[in-house]
């Protein structure tokens, strides 16, 4: 066992057994790590010969699999050997476009062992989105469930960049992995991995600064940014493990889709850093009754979910379920006291909030034994120095709004991104020994941080991060649209969803027919998770002197409409066109 792994385990055990937050914050120091491959150096040593369930999988069709750590270790080694035989070289980038499954866990581990860098992809991406990610991510390999292969095959000339495409048969939907007449390599059947040895011996050295995970995330520019994390990223998730308070004897369930960083956070690294069992549940559409039954059936003791999910859970009779929960947390959207109090009433447990980004690991949280304070996310995580700064990078007084900033000097946290794929953007976020998060908040006199909002107006909808600019850019391609402004709003089910304000070109008039045409265009050209669920036509937008749309004024106007129970004069909801758009009834 290397000194790096020994230090990792020492810190892990310290956080698993520490008695108080104060002790944890004072005693946790990031180790110096030179050579480290989490899958080979830690996971394999923990997993080999370990018959404890590492993963429980179930789905809405009655499928189930309980997989031991030992089996995961062996299967992922087969995947690594399979990839090496296909030509994967150290540093090659591999995109994964899959639903949650046993295979996706094997594949992530296998790519890590083989020295590849992982690019998760949301399953709702369009062919043009896929093409963009292949090009800007310099992707060489793609893993995809069989029902996504057609969409990938329509990605165009960028498919020629690929070395291999691997199809994972999805028996629950479409068992075929047939080749199509397309650009790029033919599809290789993932089942071939089973023919390889279940022990992998690397022919290279993994350095801690080598790329490991690369996440595409929305921002204020037309295209999503590529966030790059190095091989020490899993060590950084010791802070996430500590926030979750996941222990070796836990069954932990995190509600998140594989295409997003939160899956790596809380469905993968955090529970397995602790040696706990991870539960993953597959469904075509989130059903709180079904999910709660599975949480009951598999005796989940540790649960992480976004605010939107907790709202849906509270619509159910939680007391009718025989739950084994011991700790519950929420991240992705700020909690409000009403939700926290209701969850406490129904479960007897404190719903603890946490905060972090695609660019980080757990930064702030209400940790084990800490008082839950209304409206506060919690305190700074061990290993991080976080301050609230003004535009001149001076710390603001307690209770004053400013930007959340993470110190990168004299110690750079191991959970922090190495950078974006955009040098100009890197210069904007790394300044004066700080990483600037782009989020605004204030810190109270007790050290609790209270979230306010995004500096750049990015918002989350059902755990999906939405960039207004990205949505606006796609709607602007419609021939009738002159300008677009996108904001978050609340739908009839109290969910945060996008709303688009639209100014039409002079030759077009606001009408029900025009709204239907634009909704049809949106449904044909945009990924479902970022489609506006309502649009409102306006004659003109409120703007700054520099001609920027004042989204805060649009948000205030929309909020007033909601408070008065009204619609705008020319506001239309997607549900108004349920028959014309063939919307599924809910």
Mean per-residue pLDDT for 58-87?
97
Is the pLDDT at 420 greater than 60? The verdict is yes
The sign one gets for the Cα dihedral 474, 475, 476, 477 is: positive
**pLDDT given at position 218:** 57
Whether pLDDT at 586 is above 50: no
Residue that wins the pLDDT comparison between 181 and 382: 382
Q: State pLDDT tens for residues 301-338.
A: 999 998 878 888 988 999 999 999 999 999 877 787 77
For residue 507, how many other CB atoms are within 10 A of its CB? Answer: 7
3-state SS class at 369: coil
pTM recorded for the entire structure? 0.81
pLDDT (average), residues 207-219? 88
Q: What number of helices (H) and strands (E) belong to the chain?
A: 18, 28
**pLDDT of res. 584:** 60
Residue 167: strand, helix, or coil: strand
pLDDT tier at 545, thresholds 50, 70, 90: very low
Give me the percent of the chain exceeding a pLDDT of 90.
Answer: 73
pLDDT tens for 495-538 read 889 999 999 988 899 999 999 999 999 998 888 888 999 999 99
Cβ contacts of residue 394 below 8 Å, gap of 6+? none
For residue 160, give the nearest of 182, 179, 127, 191 by alpha carbon: 182
Residue 220 binned pLDDT confidence (cut-offs 50, 70, 90): very low
pLDDT > 70: percent of the chain: 94
User: What are φ and ψ of residue 398, in 5° steps?
Assistant: -55, 135
Is the predicted pLDDT of residue 544 greater than 50, yes or no? no
Mean pLDDT of 238-252: 98
**What confidence category does residue 547 fall into, taking pLDDT thresholds of 50, 70 and 90?**
very low
The confidence score (pLDDT) of residue 548 equals: 46
Phi-psi category of 419—alpha, beta or left, where left has phi over 0 and alpha has psi -120 to 50? left
The span from the CA of 19 to the CA of 354, in Å, is: 19
142-175: per-residue pLDDT in tens? Answer: 999 999 999 999 999 999 999 999 999 987 776 6
What are the chain's domains?
Answer: 67-206 (3.40.50.980), 467-577 (3.30.300.30)
In tens, the pLDDT along 555-578 reads 889 999 989 989 999 999 999 998
Q: Of 432, 330, 331, nearest to 387 (Cα)? A: 432
Residue 529 is predicted with a pLDDT of 86
Mean pLDDT of all residues belonging to the chain: 91
Calculate helix-pair angle for 512-525, 468-475, nearest 10 degrees.
110
Q: Are 416 and 407 in contact (CB under 8 A)?
A: no
- Residue 304's DSSP bridge partners are 254, 329
User: H or E segment at 127?
Assistant: helix 127-136
User: Sheet harboring 302-304: ordered strands across?
Assistant: 64-68, 53-59, 277-282, 251-254, 302-304, 327-330, 351-355, 364-365, 379-380
Sign of CA pseudo-dihedral 208, 212, 215, 220: positive
Whole-number Å distance between alpha carbons of 33 and 2:
10
- CA–CA separation, 166 vs 199, rounded Å? 21
Q: What average pLDDT score do residues 82-109 get?
A: 98
> What is the reported pLDDT for 325?
98
Residue 154 CA to residue 147 CA, distance in Å, equals 13
């Amino acid at each position: 066992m290397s000194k790096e792994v020994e230090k990792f385990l020492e810190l892990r055990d310290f956080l698993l057994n520490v008695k108080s937050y104060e002790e944890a914050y004072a005693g946790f120091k990031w180790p110096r790590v030179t050579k480290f491959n989490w899958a080979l150096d830690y996971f394999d040593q923990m997993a080999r010969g370990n018959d404890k369930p590492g993963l429980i999988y179930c789905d809405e069709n009655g499928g189930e699999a309980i997989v031991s750590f030992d089996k995961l270790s062996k299967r992922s080694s087969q995947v690594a050997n399979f990839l090496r035989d296909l030509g994967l070289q150290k540093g090659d980038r591999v995109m994964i476009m899959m639903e949650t499954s046993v295979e996706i866990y094997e594949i992530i581990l296998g790519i890590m062992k083989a020295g590849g860098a992982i690019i998760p992809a949301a399953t709702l991406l369009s062919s043009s989105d896929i093409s963009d990610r292949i090009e800007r991510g310099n992707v060489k390999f793609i893993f995809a469930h069989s029902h996504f292969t057609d969409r990938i095959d329509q990605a165009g000339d960028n498919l020629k960049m690929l070395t291999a495409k691997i199809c994972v048969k999805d028996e629950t939907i479409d068992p075929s992995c047939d080749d199509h007449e397309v650009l790029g390599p033919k599809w290789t059947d993932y089942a071939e991995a089973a023919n390889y040895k279940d022990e992998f011996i690397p022919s290279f050295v993994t350095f801690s600064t080598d790329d490991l995970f690369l996440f595409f995330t929305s921002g204020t520019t037309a295209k999503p940014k590529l966030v790059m994390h190095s091989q020490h990223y899993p060590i950084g998730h010791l802070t996430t493990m500590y926030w979750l308070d996941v222990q070796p004897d836990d069954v932990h369930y995190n509600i998140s889709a594989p295409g997003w960083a939160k899956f790596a956070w809380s469905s993968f690294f955090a529970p397995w850093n602790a040696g706990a069992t991870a539960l993953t549940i597959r469904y075509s559409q989130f059903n709180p009754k079904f999910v709660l039954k599975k949480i009951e059936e598999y005796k989940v003791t540790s649960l992480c979910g976004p605010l939107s999910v907790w709202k849906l859970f509270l619509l159910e009779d939680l007391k009718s379920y025989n739950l084994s929960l011991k700790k519950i947390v929420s991240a992705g959207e700020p909690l409000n006291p009403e939700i926290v109090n209701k969850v406490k009433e129904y479960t007897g447990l404190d719903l603890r909030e946490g905060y972090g980004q695609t660019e980080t690991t757990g930064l702030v949280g209400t940790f084990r034994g800490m008082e839950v304070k209304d409206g506060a996310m919690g305190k700074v995580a061990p290993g991080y120095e976080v301050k609230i700064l003004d535009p001149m990078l001076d710390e603001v007084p307690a209770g004053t709004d400013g930007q959340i900033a993470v110190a990168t000097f004299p110690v750079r946290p191991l959970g922090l991104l190495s950078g974006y794929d955009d040098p100009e953007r890197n210069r904007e976020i790394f300044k004066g020994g700080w990483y600037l998060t782009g989020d605004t908040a204030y810190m109270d006199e007790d050290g609790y941080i209270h979230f306010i909002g995004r500096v750049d107006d990015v918002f989350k909808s059902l755990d999906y991060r939405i960039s207004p600019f990205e949505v606006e850019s796609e709607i602007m391609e419609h021939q009738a649209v002159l300008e677009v402004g996108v904001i978050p709003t609340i739908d009839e089910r109290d969910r945060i969803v996008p709303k688009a304000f639209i100014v039409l070109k002079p030759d077009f008039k606001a009408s029900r027919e025009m709204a239907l045409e634009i909704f049809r265009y949106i449904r044909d050209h945009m990924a479902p998770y970022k489609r506006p669920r309502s649009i409102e036509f306006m004659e003109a937008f409120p703007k700054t002197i520099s001609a920027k749309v004042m989204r805060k004024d649009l948000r205030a106007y929309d909020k007033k409409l909601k408070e008065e129970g009204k619609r705008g004069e020319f506001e239309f909801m997607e549900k108004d066109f349920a028959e014309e758009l063939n919307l599924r009834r809910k």
